[in-house]
Amino acid sequence: MALPHLGLIVPPAAGAVPVDGPLLYGERIRFSALGLGLGEISTRGYTEVIDSVVEKAVALKAQGACAVSLMGTSLSFFRGAAFNRQLEAEMARATGLPCTTMSNAIVGALRQLGVRRVAVATAYIDEVNAHLRRYLEQSGFEPLALQGLAISDVQAVGRVPTQVLVDLCLRVFDAQPGAEGILISCGGLVTLDAVREVEARLQLPVVSSSPAGFWDLVRTAGLDARSPGQGRLFAEA
């Protein structure tokens, strides 16, 4: 029997499948990716590539994908919640497939885990953090402390060490009391180890862009998104 085939639109030009997909779902699901060629993690960078998202979705359908996600958080939230919904609808209309975005993923994951008041750790510069705060507020969340690593280099985000991410999560949690969970935003960050460590230390749920993106796409395709041992989100039925 053929494996389910899911399509990913990713920011880097190389179009590689992010490492979290195989780590989470192993041999159960086949993923393929097409790259947008994002030049920098900024509004200017997003504006240069956002108009090619729908054609990438159509190309992934032609390759046999049965569902598609735009796996870029800031790419889908930078123009706000209404634009994210419109983009998802355009992808679905052009392909006839179930489609989603990484911005849908972080919202869906936070809701699944019962988090409304959230401490936010990001890779982003201040300009992008401001867009994220607005998107979260438009989506019904209360972002408390929100701090970023001020990275705009598309390749650099994948090299951020786990300990840097853990420290940032602890810092945003401590900065303002009352968070019910942590959000790590930026699909280029490699975060599964950090998620497990922060959940263990704070005894709170942690949602991170790339793992949540895979979780959301698998659910969008009507498949079982659980992956034992990979954090609270993946233990949920």
* Burial track 82-117 (b if 16+ CB lie within 10 A, e otherwise): eebeebbeebbebbebbbbbbbbbbbbbbebbebee
Residue-averaged pLDDT of the chain: 97
Range of the domain at 15: 5-101+211-234
How much is the average pLDDT of 191-201? 98
Backbone angles phi, psi at 228, to 5 degrees: -55, 140
**Residue 20: predicted pLDDT:** 97
pLDDT in tens, 150-184: 999 999 999 999 999 999 999 999 999 999 999 99
Residues 119 and 173 in one domain: yes
How much is the average pLDDT of 97-118? 98
Residues 139 and 179 in one domain: yes
Residues 204 and 113 in one domain: yes
**Residue 44: predicted pLDDT:** 97
CA distance 144 to 33: 34
Cβ 30 vs Cβ 22: under 8 Å: no
Residue 231's Cα: distance from chain center in Å?
Answer: 15
- Domain with residue 130: its CATH number is 3.40.50.12500
**Residue 236: predicted pLDDT:** 72
Cβ 69 vs Cβ 216: under 8 Å: yes
**Residue 237: predicted pLDDT:** 57
Predicted TM-score of the model (pTM): 0.98
Residues 63 and 28 in one domain: yes
- Please count the structural domains in the chain: 2
Name the packing angle between helices 102-112 and 209-220 (round to 10°): 90
Residues 204 and 147 in one domain: yes
How much is the average pLDDT of 19-36? 96
How much is the average pLDDT of 21-43? 97
